[in-house]
Amino acid sequence: MNAEFIEALDQIEKDKGICKDVLIEAIETSLVTACKNHYGSAHNIKVEIDREHGDISVYAEKTVVEEVEDAQVEVNLEEAKRINQRYGYGDVVQIEITPKNFGRIAAQKAKQVVVQKIREEERKVLFNQYVGKEKDIITGIVQRYVGRNVIINLGKVDATMAETEQVPGEYYDNNERFKVYILEVKDTTKGPKILVSRTHPELVKRLFEQEVPEIHDGIVEIKSISREAGSRTKIAVHSNDSDVDSVGACVGQNGARVNVIVTELRGEKIDIVNWSENPITYIENALSPAKVVKVRVNEEEKTAKVVVPDYQLSLAIGKQGQNARLAARLTGFKIDIKSESQANEINFIEDDEE
C-alpha cells in the first residue's frame, strides 16, 4: 500500500463516481477481519490507512490494568506509560502491532475489496439512476429475443419486456428504437432488473406530456385513459384555461402533435375527447365519433342507458364492441346502448324514468 494506490483510488473516484473514503473504509474493515489469522480475534483490533500516503497501521486497543490477566486485551500501567505518560488505570491504549508481512496481505485484500466495492457501487449507481425513471418512458433499442421476452437496451443496462407487455401483432427487429414505459426497477445482486411495457395506458399519457406543452405545463389535464394496445385508445382531457381548447392542443395544427404519437404507437387510433363533470355530457363525448340522442344515468349504480340514431348504432358499439367498451372504461359507467327504434319498442328510457 503506497501513494500510487491512493492515486489509483482517486482515479476510481473520478471515473466511477465512487467515494475514495468509502473504498478505504471497506479495505480497513476487511483488514481487521484478516487480523484474525494473526491474533485469533479481531474485536479489539483497529486498522488505519493514511489517506494521503497509503501507509497502514494496525493497532490493538487494550485497557490499562493493575494486573494483566488477558494480554490480548489488557496492558499494565508501566507499558502504557512508555507510550504516553498521561495514561492511567482504566484508560484504553492503542498499541501498534502491525505484522512484518502485513503489506502483502493488505495489498491482496485491498484488490479484492476494491473490485467488489466497485461492482457494488456501480450496481447502486445504476439502480439509483433508473429507479428515478420508474413510471416514466424512455427510448430503448431492441437487442434480442429470449424465449418470448424481448431484451431492450436502455443505455447502460438492459430491460425485459415480457410477452404480456408486448402489443399483440407487433414484432420488434434487432436495433429498432422505440419508447417503452418503465413498469418496475428492482435492485438485485446482478444489478438493476428493469421491466418495461408497450401496452400500458401510461405510455400514451407520457407521450402526450412530451408532445403537448400545455399538458406538461398543467394547462391541459389528462383526466382518464382507456386503451386496447395496438388498436385504439380513448383519452379524456380538460383545460384549466378557458382560452385553451384542450382537444385542439392535443391534436395540434393539422394533427401534427397527435400524429407523432400515433406514429410512435405504430398506427394505433387515438380518440381525444373533452372531459366533463356532468356524466351525461361526458358519456356523450366518450362515445365519439358516434352521435348520441339521449343519455340516462344512475350515478349510484354507475350505469347509463344511451340512445343513438339507428344508423349510428354500429358506430357507437364499434367493431366487436370496442368503442362502447373503451367508453365504459374511460367514464367508469356501465353503458347499455340501443338504437332509437330499439329503445321505442321496449320503452328503454321511459321505463327507467318511471
CATH of the domain at 85: 3.30.1480.10
Domain span holding position 338: 289-354
Pair 183, 250 in one domain: no
Pair 65, 81 in one domain: yes
Fill in the amino acid letter for 92.
Answer: V
Q: CA-CA distance, 56 to 58, in Å (whole number)? A: 7
Provide the grid cell at 325: 367498451
Pair 86, 188 in one domain: no
pLDDT tens sequence for the chain (354 residues): 567 778 888 888 888 777 888 888 888 887 777 776 666 565 778 888 888 877 888 888 889 998 888 887 888 988 888 888 888 999 998 888 776 666 666 667 767 777 787 788 778 888 888 998 999 999 999 999 999 999 999 998 999 999 999 999 888 999 999 999 999 999 988 889 999 999 999 999 999 999 999 999 999 999 999 999 999 999 999 999 999 999 999 999 999 999 999 999 999 999 999 999 999 999 999 999 999 999 999 999 999 999 999 999 999 999 999 999 999 999 999 999 999 999 887 777 754 443
Pair 344, 322 in one domain: yes
- Count CA within 13 A, CB hemisphere, residue 182: 24
Pick the last residue of a domain from 175, 196, 217: 196
CATH of the domain at 323: 3.30.300.20
Pick the last residue of a domain from 275, 301, 316: 275
Pair 9, 118 in one domain: yes
Asked if 71 and 32 count as a contact pair (C-beta separation under 8 A), the reply is no
Residue 284 domain-assigned (yes or no): no
Residue 177 domain-assigned (yes or no): yes
Residue 346 domain-assigned (yes or no): yes
Pick the last residue of a domain from 94, 113, 128: 128
The total domain count for the chain is 4
- Count CA within 13 A, CB hemisphere, residue 13: 12
Pair 172, 267 in one domain: no
